[in-house]
Structure 1
Amino acid sequence: MNVIWARSAAILISLVVVSAGVYLAFGPIAALALACAVLLGLLCFYLYQINRLWKVLDAPVYGEIPSAVGLWGEVYYRLHRLVKRWRTQVLQVEQQHTRFIQAIQASPNGVLMLDDADQIEWCNDVAEQHFGLNARRDVRQRITHLIRRPEFVHYLTRQRFDDPLVMRDMGEHKHSVIAVQILPYGDNRKLVITQDITKLENTEAMRRDFVANVSHELKTPLTVLTGFLETVRDLPVSEDDRRRYVDMMLVQSMRMQSIVDDLLALARLESDAQPPGNDTVAVQAMVAHLMHDAEALSQGRHKIAAEIDPTVGFRGADTELLSALGNLVSNAVRYTPEGGRIALRLGWEEGHAVFSVADTGLGIAAEHIPRLTERFYRVDRSRSRDTGGTGLGLAIVKHVLSRHHADLRVTSEEGRGSVFRIIFPLERSVRSLSDAASTATAAVPASPQAPDSSRRAA
């Protein structure tokens, strides 16, 4: 027996006992009057409590459950406990829903939910950016009224969602490439997933360009070698011609060897996960080596000078840095016309060790500067090939400096020359405190600096 039946039975038994006592003491009329009065009072009390309960159920507000004594107190207590349990469950569901929404908002992919009529039910911020939508404004709008690209409308209406749709010129700046995948779920509802694949597309384009450029760079010397070999094999040639052909073939084979060596160097730099060494580089010896190589490559056709602050030093892998700095110097020699000036400088800028190479060469248009460190990128392909460059020098420079957390800054003015500046980070810049360093700047007088400019890649 539950508490309601138990308390009701107790009330009735108590009423019968009291009425029997009144009957024995005062007679049946008094007993009947007492019983009727008590029952009428109970009825009015129950009607009052039922009215209170109706008001609570008609407009429920958490925490406003009334209190009472007796049986109704038990009813209100149990109602309060039930409401509390339901409220706890609702709060848990709301928390799960909030976490779910936060997780979708944190996703790098766009998520857009459509109902059975292809109307927008909800979308996250990324989907808003990809499609130019507004979640509050566009809710319950048909998706094809907002995204009117023919390829998207066809993809949605065709109902074949096995492969994603690639949409170009999307996003706020109309330069993004978006992959759209529709996933049906529930009762004819759809989940639209979007992903920004702009970087992936650019990487794929760079891969195609790289393969094409490697094929092109190797095809030319191979064609020359094949032609000369067929000539030597099939035609009678004099000893002088044979020697000249062999020399030409040697030049082309050495060119192919240089390309392969640079590709292997790039592969080693990219695959080496270990940070470069932190040993102090012998800067004076490195600059002397660079000067010697520049003069040997120039063969007296240029005026080459260096301005070196002996207090300046830097830390890192000396072989890698020598390769990077050497590429900049050799570029300056190759792309500076005869009689031009080349200046090497090592000094301080705001506590950073800075190495720069300035020349009075051809310079380059500003729109080419961001792409100079791409593999095989050439502004003037025919002239670049004539100078003997492989097209990989600045790519090697970029990877070496990236490993040393250094910056390469290039400025350019066509017809005025070039300046390449390497800025080493503070943690790799070293200031010498030796007595020799406390004297004046040690250097070969530098040529007048060329204006800030850029240079074609090697």
Structure 2
Amino acid sequence: MPTQPAETLTVIRPISYIRVAVITALSIFVTVAVGVGVFFGREAGLLTFSLAMLVAGAYHINNLFKLVRWMRTPSEESAPLPRALGMWDYVFADVNRRSQRAFHKQERLSAALERFREASQAMPHGLMFLSSANTIDWVNHQGEQQFGLDRVRDQGTPVTNIVRQPDFVRYLKSGDYSAPLTFTIGRPVLRTLVVTIVPFSEDMRLLLSEDITQGQRVEAMRRDFVANVSHEMRTPLTVVSGFLETVIDGLDDLAKEDIRHYLGLASEQAGRMQQLIQDLLTLSALETGAPMWQEEPVDVAKLVHDVEREAIVVSGGRHRIELDCSVSAPLLGNAKELHSAFANLAINAVRYTPEGGHIRISWRQRGTVVEYTVEDDGIGIAADHIPRLTERFYRVDRGRSRETGGTGLGLAIVKHVLSRHQGDLLIDSEPGRGSRFTACFPARRLVS
């Protein structure tokens, strides 16, 4: 036999008792009034009944006032539950139970809402609630950043008044959300978003947005990487193939000196390809945001002495190279990356300075900046080329760069290494008067 639910029973018991109490009270009033009427006359009986009803009414009104006053008391003041006789004690108890139940339910809902808000704010994607009129009901932090919104200021504003990108407006108004929309938006910075809209009630829609700008940038880098490698490898591979064909076809006729000459040229081109691949891998790791290393003190004074010796070896005695190192304090950073950047600048100076030229390498502090400078009196660079020198594969003189063994990636590597060390690259050059390349770092990175 099915039992009555507990909550229903708590309601039925007070109501049944109240019904019985009211009937009993009325019966008593009528009995007393009739008795008074029999002994003292009809008027006395009616008066007695009226007085009894008046007293009962006053009692009930007083208890109603108690109940209203208790219900209007702010919950944080925790007013004591009113007490009364008979049925009103049950009424007060029942109202109190219902109030406590509603209060705890509200607390649970508030906690659930707060957890939802925290989870929404932690999401890597944008989240926005829109009404049927496309007004903004709520948006999380990522949505604010992606669409240039302010959650407080823009609440209740049609999103199309703020985000006026034509593709987005058409998509929103079309009502067909079976496929996501990809579009570019320029608030506050140019970015590419993928938007999905999900209706979840008669008049509400959930808008999910994902920023794929970085992914597209990485994909573009990969495409450029393949295209650049194909272009840059074509020439040395053609040369190596041609030399090997010449040697193979003339193996019986060529003198040993000629064979050695052709194989030496092929070896040079193979070395160039090896250096190109190494530079491409280094640059690719830097551009795609390779994980940052743990910063450690780098002995730059020793590092620049090593770079000087490398430059002297590459020069082969054709240049006068000198070093001025006046900073002994270590620099926070990565020794391998700093060596790559500093060596690139020094070797470039050797490559583009005519025989007999002067190259000066220095490591010194100027106020709040510490500088690594490579200065030469070589061929120099025209002003219109300087802004593009750090682009991948950009060469002022392509023929000369290939002759000297350059890959066109050195300065791009330098730029990214300096960026990872909070540094900047300054270039000062003039055709026929030489060049000065300066890597600047904040002096606060020095370890005292």
Aligned to 2:435: 417
Q: Does 1:249 align with 2:257?
A: no
Equivalent residues of 1:366, 1:413 under 8 A apart: no
Equivalent residues of 2:415, 2:425 under 8 A apart: no
Give aligned-pair identity as a percent. Answer: 34
Q: Among 348, 359, 380, which residue is 1:331 paired with?
A: 348
Q: Among 33, 36, 40, which residue is 2:53 paired with?
A: 40
One-letter amino acid of the structure 2 residue matched with residue 333 of structure 1: V
Structure 2 stretches lacking a partner, 5+ long: 1-12
Q: Does 1:96 align with 2:96?
A: no
> In the superposition, relative to structure 1, how do residues 335 and 158 fare at CA in structure 2: closer, same or farther (>3 Å)?
farther
Aligned to 1:171: 187
Q: Distance in 2 between matches of 1:44 and 1:333?
A: 110
One-letter amino acid of the structure 2 residue matched with residue 182 of structure 1: I
TM-score w.r.t. the length of structure 2 is 0.71
Kindly report which structure 2 residues correspond to 1:228-247, keeping only aligned pairs within 5 A, or say none: 228-234=243-249, 239=255, 244-247=261-264
- What RMSD, in angstroms, separates the aligned Cα atoms of the two structures? 4.8
Equivalent residues of 2:135, 2:157 under 8 A apart: yes
One-letter amino acid of the structure 1 residue matched with residue 437 of structure 2: V
Aligned to 1:435: none
> In the superposition, relative to structure 1, how do residues 28 and 68 fare at CA in structure 2: closer, same or farther (>3 Å)?
farther
One-letter amino acid of the structure 1 residue matched with residue 276 of structure 2: I
Kindly report which structure 2 residues correspond to 1:374-385, keeping only aligned pairs within 5 A, or say none: 376=393, 378=395, 381-385=398-402
| 1:19-39 residue CA offsets vs partner (Å, 9 max, x unmatched) | 698689x65769735641344
Aligned to 2:405: 388
Q: Which has the higher contact order (CA 8 A, sep 6+)?
A: 1
Q: Among 169, 180, 185, which residue is 2:195 paired with?
A: 180
> In the superposition, relative to structure 1, how do residues 222 and 133 fare at CA in structure 2: closer, same or farther (>3 Å)?
same
| 1:390-437 residue CA offsets vs partner (Å, 9 max, x unmatched) | 3444566567778xx74443112341622333648767646xxxxxxx
Aligned to 2:7: none
Equivalent residues of 1:166, 1:179 under 8 A apart: yes
Q: Does 1:212 align with 2:212?
A: no
Deviation at 1:152, TM superposition (A): 2.7
Deviation at 1:93, TM superposition (A): 2.7
Deviation at 1:101, TM superposition (A): 3.8
> In the superposition, relative to structure 1, how do residues 92 and 310 fare at CA in structure 2: closer, same or farther (>3 Å)?
closer
Give the match's secondary structure for 1:306.
strand
Q: Among 187, 190, 215, which residue is 1:200 paired with?
A: 215
> In the superposition, relative to structure 1, how do residues 100 and 220 fare at CA in structure 2: closer, same or farther (>3 Å)?
same
> In the superposition, relative to structure 1, how do residues 300 and 84 fare at CA in structure 2: closer, same or farther (>3 Å)?
same
Q: Does 1:290 align with 2:334?
A: no
Q: Distance in 2 between matches of 1:294 and 1:87?
A: 79
TM-score w.r.t. the length of structure 1 is 0.69
Aligned to 2:3: none
Q: Distance in 2 between matches of 1:396 and 1:28?
A: 118
Q: Distance in 2 between matches of 1:298 and 1:375?
A: 25
Deviation at 1:343, TM superposition (A): 1.6
Equivalent residues of 2:199, 2:205 under 8 A apart: yes
Q: Distance in 2 between matches of 1:363 and 1:272?
A: 34
Kindly report which structure 2 residues correspond to 1:4-153, keeping only aligned pairs within 5 A, or say none: 4-5=18-19, 7-8=21-22, 11=25, 15=29, 32-33=45-46, 35-42=48-55, 44-45=57-58, 48=61, 61=72, 63=74, 69-70=84-85, 71-72=87-88, 74-76=90-92, 78-116=94-132, 118=134, 120-124=136-140, 126-131=142-147, 147-153=163-169
Q: Distance in 2 between matches of 1:325 and 1:146?
A: 48
Q: Distance in 2 between matches of 1:179 and 1:230?
A: 53
